[in-house]
Amino acid sequence: MEQKKTQSHAALSTAAVHAGEARFRAHNSLTVPIVQTSVYTFADTSALLSFTEERMFWDEPEREEYGRYGNPTVRAVEAKLAALEGAQDALLVSSGMAAVTSTLLLMLAAGDHLILTDECYLSTLQFGKNFLPRYGIESTVVRHGDYAALEAAIRPNTKVIFSESPTNPFNHCIDLDRLVALARPRDIKTVIDTTFATPVNLRALDHGIDLVIHSVTKYLAGHNDVMAGAIIGSFDMTTPLRLAHSVLGAIVDPHAAYLILRGMKTLALRVARHNANGLAVARFLEDHPKVRRVWYPGLASHRDHALASSTMRGFGGVVSFEIEGDVEQAYQFIDALKIATVGPSLGGVESLISPLALMGYANLPPEERQTLGIRDQLVRFCIGIEDTDDLIADVRQALERV
């Protein structure tokens, strides 16, 4: 597989372990401490005056003032995220959706126009469709990968194009270079959610994308035990967001930040295993007579296989597929699995499986689900880091029950 030569996998693994931590060594601790405080004190008024003067000139303070404005443990996570993405800065917020909504709210104003691709996360689409119009912001949804439609949707007041790569659940990939070529000459900002890829598999900023969004809850934290989101890019892009962040208040507490930091140390190792497991399971499913179709960018049959092969280091751990037969047979398959658990998330060490018509899209009318391609037999398998042979054996025995 052809790979982008931006940063070696070994360098990413080293950054995952060490980046962002050099200045945090309180009490000679090897690990970054959990600074569990909401208040930071000053020795006297002269110290406070010095801090106030320094804050006027520095992008990032050497110390903190109040928990809503910053925390050393949180800043260590932000520094590591920025290093992994090859960015100047990163902002950690309370969830992936907080990253999406705060970014769009702060980049757009009344009279502006937003373009979304149709395979964005459902809550992202609903935010653009139902929430932003309250503030005089119009949204247009275009088919993911239809660049002619994307160009045709651009208006004089278009300010942001927002997409995902790979998408949930069909793993479609965006041509980042082509997107930037459309947007940059028109002074339109580009924002890409690369949660499915992680910076191990894809670094969108290297292609000229303005901001990268992650649901840190997923692969970055990696253990299904914490929620957070991230906004990553240049200082020019993140500084206004950071200033507003202290007002919006979608902060991450220090203990959650510590769990994220600990999880990210093994990110490169975990993603390598997710990649290997995902590809092996996808190949097995594609060859099985009881599986109608598989969506995985590592397969030659996938629409965006060539694009994914040229821009990504690996293809991730999410495999979506349709079971032959009716919905009851899909349920039989899911219920027969012994390793994967039915659940709505992804990116953790444990495998999770979702019948998407019931989980994530259940509130949509059936005709709207059909428009999005969410059929009753569609299954999303979010593969963990279990043994590859065990996963395939489990899928095989479950399919025999159908």
Count of positions (residues) in the chain: 402
Report whether 154 contacts 115 (CB < 8 A): yes
Q: Are strands 341-342 and 113-117 parallel, antiparallel or unpaired?
A: unpaired
* Distance in angstroms (rounded) separating the CA atoms of residues 275 and 265: 17
Catalytic (active site) residue 270: no
> Among the options 80, 203, 218, 273, which is catalytic?
218
Give the angle 353-297-295 at the CA atoms, nearest 5°. Answer: 45
* Distance in angstroms (rounded) separating the CA atoms of residues 267 and 54: 35
Catalytic (active site) residue 134: no
* Distance in angstroms (rounded) separating the CA atoms of residues 145 and 356: 22
Q: How many CB atoms lie within 10 A of CB 300?
A: 8
> Among the options 68, 178, 283, 292, which is catalytic?
68
> Among the options 75, 89, 121, 296, which is catalytic?
121
Q: Is 135 helix (H, G, I), strand (E, B) or coil?
A: helix
* Distance in angstroms (rounded) separating the CA atoms of residues 52 and 67: 16
Nearest in space to 175 (alpha carbons), one of 153, 202, 139: 202
Query: What is the DSSP code string of 343-381?
Result: -S--SSSS-EEEETTTTTSTTS-HHHHHHTT--TTEEEE
Note the Cα 252 to chain centre separation in Å: 17
> Among the options 89, 112, 118, 193, which is catalytic?
193
Note the Cα 234 to chain centre separation in Å: 18
* Distance in angstroms (rounded) separating the CA atoms of residues 124 and 85: 22
Catalytic (active site) residue 68: yes
Residue 332 burial by CB count (10 A; 0-12/13-18/19+): exposed, middle or buried? middle
Quick one: how many helices (H) and strands (E) in the chain? 15, 12
What lies within 8 Å, CB to CB, of 365 at 6+ separation is none
Angstrom distances, CA of residue 18 to CA of 75, 81, 93:
14, 11, 21
Nearest in space to 104 (alpha carbons), one of 128, 136, 130: 128
Q: Which two tokens stand for residue 339?
A: 């390793």
Locus of tokens 């997923």: 218
Catalytic (active site) residue 218: yes
Tell me the CA end-to-end span of the chain in Å, nearest whole number. 35
Residues with catalytic annotation? 68, 121, 193, 218
